[in-house]
Structure 1
Amino acid sequence: MTMPKRMVAVSWSMLLCLAAAAAVLKARAQLDSIGFISIDCGLPGTANSVDDATKLSYAPDAAFTDAGSNHNISVEYITPTLAKRYLNVRSFPDGARSCYMLRSLVPGLKYTLRAEFKYGNYDGLNRPPVFDLYAGVNFWSRVNASSQKVVVLEAIVVVPEDYVHVCLVNTGSGTPFISALELRPLKSSLYPQVNATQGLVLLSRRNFGPTDDADIVRYPDDPHDRVWLPFVNTARWEAISTSNKVRNLDDSEFAAPSKVMQTAITPRNASGRIEFFWLSEPQPGDPTPGYIVILHFSELQLLAGNAVRQQHLVLNDDLRFWSDYTPPYLLSDTIYSMKPLPRFSRYNFSINATANSTMPPIINAGEIFFVFSTANVGTDYSDVSAITAIKAKYRVKKNWARDPCVTNNLTWDGLTCSYANSNPSRITRINMSFSGLDGDISSSFANLKAIQYLDLSYNNLTGSIPDALSQLPSLLVLDLTNNQLSGSIPPSLLKRIQDGSLNIRYGNNPNLCTNAASCKPAKGRNKLAVYVAVPVVLVVVIVSALVFPFLRRKKQGSTSTNITMRPQIETMMSYAPATLPPGDAHTQSSLHLENRKFTYKELEMITNNFQRVLGRGGFGEVYNGFLEDGTQVAIKLRSQFSNQGVKEFLIEAQILTRIHHKNLVSMIGYCKDGQYMALVYEYMSEGTLQEQIAGNGRNGKLLTWKQRLRIAVDSAQGTRQLCSRQPRMMFTVLVLCC
């Protein structure tokens, strides 16, 4: 039966779509069937290369990074035994930081990361560069490239998310490059020294006993694909080996492979000892790193009669590392340090037979690591997921492959972030104007919960404005000008415009708001939320507390009396708070606040280094900020030129912590941190009272006299209840105003 041509065409198109989908899924998954990621950096095309020794398949790196360029090493450095992955490199001449993103990982699991560098004069400069290597946002090691040798750097880390970045940072000493990158999963029980805040960098991993320098043990003999290099010195050591399998205990912390444990060395002189040493390798910021030593032992000979092999380990001739140890027969055993060794410039280890031993000492294998910190946290996971999806949707060609907010000076182009000491960074501003964006507005923007400013202007965006953007609690400005958007502004966003919490710019969108009524807020009474500065509130309190009762008495025919202010002021002073905590210079004041106390450092983070000023007053400037949960606040920071002293500040703060009324601005907390003093208020979106009276507010309207009176009355109601419950507070109010 002959299939119609159209049916054939459709079938082929379906097959092509399925193949493309499979390729995308494979690129996204990244892991192979055994959970490895193996990358041949700089490999052109789409075909994998296969390692001759391990038979592992290495993928081209185009799916892992979008920066850099491919190069081949010079022919004079190519040898018959050189692995295929070293024939080419990816070089990163542009940008200070370039990264690979390894995905589809298990958060909280331990992984081995291995980066390999074969310079081979790929650039014709014959100047091997020096640059830094990072695991995520944490410094891993410094790369000192070599023309002849392959430099291999390996680290064991806990990956906090389902991805990890491996980044090369230009230090000004040549262009960073890389030949290969590998990731291998480890069981959580392995290498107990590794945790969420501490990783290990490999200094050396040696297999003692092989007689051939080429006898390297790795995958598949080691299922974790650790690389065990042979330690060969037949003139000094006698090699011992067995064909029997050497077993690991079920709870082994290191699981050395049997092939490694089947060989060992012993001194040729029966009374000799085994010695080895290493020199401390200074790292940037750590001239004497802390080292972890892991030594593997197994008895390979079935000792007869009364033969005994007993040994002890000594560090630097005077520190007993382990005493009277007997290796078990055909069982893998390990002696190791959990904490870093004492810091020396040189480490000398010797393994000596004890006085009771009839056999010389042995050792099968050893690993030496130094500790590095992984305590730095990256950008919030939801922010990374959102911005990565945005990058993919719009095919952003910028160097957006690393952590978006890694540091203040290395954030992604067009992004601004907020930073907290122990919390993930958050994306607060995105400027993607003039970026050639097309298609609709990505729904992923709605997942950036800390975003304050989003600029998508001067692109070719189409479709409608997503309603979900109204759910961004911190968003202040949304700029959509000069696009091809259509429809109307969603009611939820119009409501945000109406209450003054959001400013939307949408000019020059020909098909947007063609029905002008659909882009206007619904008519109704606007909620006027105004900053009532403390002196103004207190004046109103005085008026309500003194003038209103006076008028009432006059109406009732009472005889008026003169109010003498000075005695009241003097009386008030006896009610001033008594003492401050020890160490405060102002020992005649005390502040007992129920509200949150902020440090100055926290205020810097909340305000993004006091970036946006809301207003100014006699006390100081008022800054815009956001708490950890996205709550918008206003922070009034006392100026060094303010006439208000510490005692007045404390009294004012004490008053405000007790005011809780719907008509008054609530105080969320305060700061008294050395010379720094500040009050943290809830944010009022309509601006200051002064702006409203002058007609400079966000709605551009003047307050009517009726509204002004309403403000005065509502403010008085809010504080009158406080003063009626606590009469002493009235005297405080009088002093502050007078």
Structure 2
Amino acid sequence: MAAGHCLLLLCVAAGVVLQVRAQTDSKGFITIDCGLTGETGYAGVGDTTVLPDNGEFTDNAGTCHNISAEYVTRSTAKSWYSVRSFPAGMRNCYTLGSLVSGLKYIVRARFMYGNYDGLDSPPVFDLYIGVNYWQTVKISSPGVAMFVEAIVMVPDDFVQVCLVNTGTGRPFISGLDLRPMKGTLYPQVTAAQGLALLDRINFGPIDYYTFVRYPDDPHDRIWFPSVDTKTWSSISTTQEVQNIADDLFQVPSAVLQTAIMPRNASQNIELAWTSGSTPNNKAQMDPSPTPEYVLIQGRPSPEYIVECTVILHFAELKILPENAVRRLNVILNDKPWHPDGFRPQYLTSSVTYNRLPLQYSHYNLTVEASGNATLPPIINAAEIFSVFNITNLGTDSQDVSAITAIKGKYQVKKNWMGDPCVPKTMAWDRLTCSNGVIGSRPRVTSVRQFTYKELEKITTHFQRVLGRGGFGYVYDGSLEDGTQVAVKLRSDSSNQGVKEFLAEARILTRIHHTNLVSMIGYCKDGEYMALVYEYMSEGTLQEHIDGSNRSGACLPWKERLRIALESAQGLEYLHKGCKPPIIHRDVKATNILLNAELEASIADFGLSKAFNSNDTHVFTNTVVGTPGYVDPEYQTTMQLTTKSDVYSFGVVLLELVTGKPAILHDPMPVNIIQWVRQRLAQGNIEAVVDARMCGQYDVNTVWKIADIALKCTALSSVQRPSMTDVVAQLRECIELENGHSPDDASNDFYAGGNYPNMSNNSYTTHPSTNVSQKNTSSETEKSLMRVPTIPTGPATR
């Protein structure tokens, strides 16, 4: 089929939505026995249902096989009998539908070669989740059952797990599981990064066969037993161990009911593993006996060193004698996680973990008794993940739905599997994609082009003005289907020209994120130029800060926190989620727009700059931006970095805290940063906070936000956090405001309880007169239970 025909049919089918038969059960689980033919499944773990692999998930690609009879033993569960193999095509995918967009899911793929093809040669191939590399599958021997697992945030109502032929044997798969999780769990999982499981350990079971999973774990995580009676003493309880309120990991009671401690009370508990030391950067853990069933270790893309996140779970299982004290500290590579240690709570879960990824070649983690402890350390469970990027965005979902409908209707037999356009090397044959230089969601056809007469019609001759920026007036409009839009029309007197117009149009056609304003179309009709956006009914953040919004109401503190987080997420996506990265260059309160639900989106990309991710900065001939928000280091050196946006965002944070503008004019002009520093130097937060909030806030949260803002506005860019760091810290603030205590679920070696000595933070006001005056809005099942030892993972010592 010619590309032109494809695009014509796509236009005809533009209103067709991909219909995926409901695949999840009542719990949202999907369990597929890959290679199992027929229409009937069978009962799996607990009350789960194992579905047959009848071609529904793979569009009948691949062939079904049984493993060799020599590998079917008493301990081999039914789910390992068959495989689906893919002898043709570079990429073959399973499509799992009926999901909830934006929710987090466990994705688990299972493999047992079993010499199904008689070649006695296990293959090596790559796995992708959607368009993002997950890891490489390398089977050690025909009789070993293996799995890989990841936790990811799914951007659409479906997810694809793809097997990619790398030229070293035919890809195959034995089973595929998907399990939903609450959005609040595993805060390290974001739209930009997922977690690949390295190990999940249950310390202290009585034998090697005590695996914990569904129904004990509602999310069907598999907790592997760690048994070493020579080194450890096991302690246990039959009483239920409770999770704390708003628990971020929800470890099942069956896991927390057992723990270990050193037999020698003076010793510590130690875990050790290495990563990134081999040419292909595969994570390599300390050796342990090879089990029948093992966890395949993940690795990130070859250009990155393995990044890890470690989650340690604790619960006190015994009522301690009156004078006994159990107090723990965690040390990683000689660095303590807690300055004063912490106490596990009796029959209640507690956790310590790192929020930001760790980057070491070798990991030595120690749990030790600390302070005035009279009892040895304990640990109940541990989870260790590698972090992998999921920043590559697939083709626009509506386009995928339409082109897939065309594929089905016209019975296209080409190897059209996975995403139509991404990555380019795997794009569908003879399909034209509009991939742009800004690497975001590509489109199969071109985002709508309006004529000037059409703009006149949808705005009723530009009757209602919504606002005005450097580009021109913004008008209220309504499309033919009733969709309300905002039309930004360039005026003749605009200080933004064709260059800025084209820059914004080019960027907005290729970036898609919840917290970035979406462009519906554009107009370039002779001398007329306009951009058509989604309508943000509640105007700018600035209007809500200064009270000039329509309602005149004061934004509550919790709303301010949420808006700050959403805006930060939009900037984080520009910096980390786009390839190449984008620097906004005009972050300010008037360029943050709010919809009817007061959800925030970053707007105005006319000044934005894309830069090579291998470079540290972009050199510019002129400094542009808005006075009060411009990074003084950029102003001095002309070198633009992502930290320039961080600086501007720090100013926005201060506006949210104080309710005051970036430059105060009474009694004399002063930058808000200097104004805040002077008052906080005296330790008086009330002198800084917006009085209109009438004290309705947690003072600790306000201090923390002020601290974040002042770090963002440090004079030197190297001293400023990244937007990823800022997002993580803002999430902490929201947890704190919602009643989380730093002493329970928020234990984190990055988290500190002390606020900085403001008197030591000096700020020099930098003039901004040379800044362009821009005011733009700008089973495993039965056989799994017979595994004689834990999977490869960190060795306890």
- Fold similarity call, TM over 0.5: yes
Q: Does the 8 Å CA contact 1:71/1:91 hold for their aligned counterparts?
A: yes
Q: Does the 8 Å CA contact 1:314/1:322 hold for their aligned counterparts?
A: no
Q: Does the 8 Å CA contact 2:37/2:52 hold for their aligned counterparts?
A: no
1:55 shift after superposition: 5.0
1:546-695 aligned at under 5 Å gives the runs 594-597=497-500, 629=521
Secondary structure of the equivalent of 1:63?
Answer: coil
Q: Which residue is equivalent to 1:425?
A: 442
Q: Deviations over 1:562-599 (max 9, x none)?
A: xxxxxxxxxxxxxxxxxxxxxxxxxxxxx976223478
Distance 1:396 1:210 in 2: 54
Distance 1:601 1:33 in 2: 45
AA aligned to 2:223 is: W
Distance 2:609 2:365 in 1: 55
The alignment's TM-score, normalised by the length of structure 1, stands at 0.56
Counterpart of 1:199 (choices 179, 194, 197) is 194
Q: Is the aligned partner of 1:255 residue 2:147?
A: no
Q: Deviations over 1:545-567 (max 9, x none)?
A: xxxxxxxxxxxxxxxxxxxxxxx
1:27 shift after superposition: 6.7
Counterpart of 2:345 (choices 328, 338, 344) is 328
Q: Which residue is equivalent to 1:93?
A: 87
Q: Is the aligned partner of 1:170 residue 2:186?
A: no
Q: Does the 8 Å CA contact 1:47/1:60 hold for their aligned counterparts?
A: no
Q: Which residue is equivalent to 1:344?
A: 360
Distance 1:203 1:671 in 2: 39
Q: Which residue is equivalent to 1:367?
A: 383
Secondary structure of the equivalent of 1:596?
Answer: helix
AA aligned to 1:122 is: Y
Q: Does the 8 Å CA contact 1:51/1:84 hold for their aligned counterparts?
A: no
Q: Which residue is equivalent to 2:417?
A: 401
Distance 2:504 2:85 in 1: 40
Secondary structure of the equivalent of 1:70?
Answer: strand
Distance 2:346 2:105 in 1: 31
1:416 shift after superposition: 1.3
1:95-174 aligned at under 5 Å gives the runs 95-146=89-140, 147-174=142-169
Distance 2:87 2:27 in 1: 34
1:318 shift after superposition: 4.4
1:170 shift after superposition: 1.1
Q: Which residue is equivalent to 2:22?
A: 29
Q: Does the 8 Å CA contact 2:300/2:387 hold for their aligned counterparts?
A: no
Q: Which residue is equivalent to 2:682?
A: none
AA aligned to 2:435 is: Y
1:284 shift after superposition: 3.4
Q: Structure 1 residues 261 and 229, CA, compared in 2 at 3 Å: closer, same or farther?
A: same
Q: Which residue is equivalent to 2:372?
A: 356
Distance 1:252 1:604 in 2: 39
Q: Which residue is equivalent to 2:687?
A: none
Distance 2:114 2:443 in 1: 41
Q: Structure 1 residues 601 and 592, CA, compared in 2 at 3 Å: closer, same or farther?
A: closer
Q: Deviations over 1:461-494 (max 9, x none)?
A: xxxxxxxxxxx879xxxxxxxxxxxxxxxxxxxx
Q: Which residue is equivalent to 1:440?
A: none
Counterpart of 2:332 (choices 306, 315, 331) is 315
Q: Which residue is equivalent to 1:190?
A: 185
Distance 2:234 2:609 in 1: 70
Q: Deviations over 1:660-718 (max 9, x none)?
A: xxxxxxxxx999999xxxxxxxxxxxxxxxxxxxxxxxxxxxxxxxxxxxxxxxxxxxx
The structure with more strand, counted as a fraction of residues: 1
1:151 shift after superposition: 2.1
Q: Deviations over 1:433-481 (max 9, x none)?
A: xxxxxxxxxxxxxxxx66xxxxxxxxxxxxxxxxxxxxx879xxxxxxx
1:106 shift after superposition: 0.7
1:630 shift after superposition: 7.1
Q: Structure 1 residues 258 and 61, CA, compared in 2 at 3 Å: closer, same or farther?
A: farther
RMSD (Å), alpha carbons? 3.2
Q: Is the aligned partner of 1:378 residue 2:372?
A: no
AA aligned to 1:43 is: L
1:316 shift after superposition: 2.1
Secondary structure of the equivalent of 1:325?
Answer: coil
Q: Which residue is equivalent to 2:37?
A: 44
Moved more, 63-72 or 351-360: 351-360
Distance 1:42 1:399 in 2: 20
Q: Structure 1 residues 40 and 600, CA, compared in 2 at 3 Å: closer, same or farther?
A: same
Q: Structure 1 residues 672 and 473, CA, compared in 2 at 3 Å: closer, same or farther?
A: closer
1:46 shift after superposition: 1.2
Q: Which residue is equivalent to 2:569?
A: none
Q: Which residue is equivalent to 1:70?
A: 64
Secondary structure of the equivalent of 1:247?
Answer: coil
Q: Deviations over 1:599-640 (max 9, x none)?
A: 899989999xxxxxxxxxxxxxxxxxxx98376899xxxxxx
Q: Does the 8 Å CA contact 1:595/1:670 hold for their aligned counterparts?
A: no
1:54 shift after superposition: 6.5
Moved more, 385-394 or 289-298: 385-394
Q: Does the 8 Å CA contact 1:207/1:228 hold for their aligned counterparts?
A: yes
Secondary structure of the equivalent of 1:370?
Answer: strand
Percent sequence identity over aligned pairs: 51
1:28 shift after superposition: 0.5
1:360 shift after superposition: 0.7
Q: Structure 1 residues 301 and 153, CA, compared in 2 at 3 Å: closer, same or farther?
A: same
Q: Is the aligned partner of 1:294 residue 2:311?
A: yes
Q: Does the 8 Å CA contact 2:504/2:608 hold for their aligned counterparts?
A: no
Secondary structure of the equivalent of 2:432?
Answer: strand
Q: Does the 8 Å CA contact 1:71/1:89 hold for their aligned counterparts?
A: yes
Q: Does the 8 Å CA contact 1:293/1:367 hold for their aligned counterparts?
A: yes
Q: Is the aligned partner of 1:235 residue 2:230?
A: yes
Distance 1:362 1:221 in 2: 22
1:409 shift after superposition: 2.6
Q: Deviations over 1:142-173 (max 9, x none)?
A: 11123232221111111111111111111111
Q: Give the total of aligned pairs.
A: 440
Q: Does the 8 Å CA contact 2:46/2:215 hold for their aligned counterparts?
A: no
1:33 shift after superposition: 1.5
Q: Deviations over 1:82-135 (max 9, x none)?
A: 222211111111111111111111111111111111111111222211111111
Q: Which residue is equivalent to 1:284?
A: 301
Distance 1:139 1:123 in 2: 26
Distance 2:107 2:83 in 1: 18
Distance 2:73 2:338 in 1: 43
- Structure 1 gap segments, 5+ residues each: 1-24, 429-448, 451-471, 475-590, 608-626, 635-668, 675-738
Q: Structure 1 residues 54 and 241, CA, compared in 2 at 3 Å: closer, same or farther?
A: farther
Secondary structure of the equivalent of 2:79?
Answer: helix
Q: Structure 1 residues 670 and 304, CA, compared in 2 at 3 Å: closer, same or farther?
A: closer
- Structure 2 gap segments, 5+ residues each: 1-17, 276-282, 284-298, 451-493, 511-518, 527-605, 611-617, 619-797
1:49 shift after superposition: 3.2
AA aligned to 2:72 is: I
Secondary structure of the equivalent of 2:424?
Answer: coil
Counterpart of 1:267 (choices 240, 256, 262) is 262
Larger radius of gyration: 1
Moved more, 194-203 or 392-401: 392-401
Distance 2:409 2:31 in 1: 26
Q: Structure 1 residues 296 and 672, CA, compared in 2 at 3 Å: closer, same or farther?
A: closer
Q: Which residue is equivalent to 1:571?
A: none
Q: Which residue is equivalent to 2:426?
A: 410
Q: Deviations over 1:261-289 (max 9, x none)?
A: 00000111111111111221154324521
Q: Does the 8 Å CA contact 1:101/1:164 hold for their aligned counterparts?
A: yes
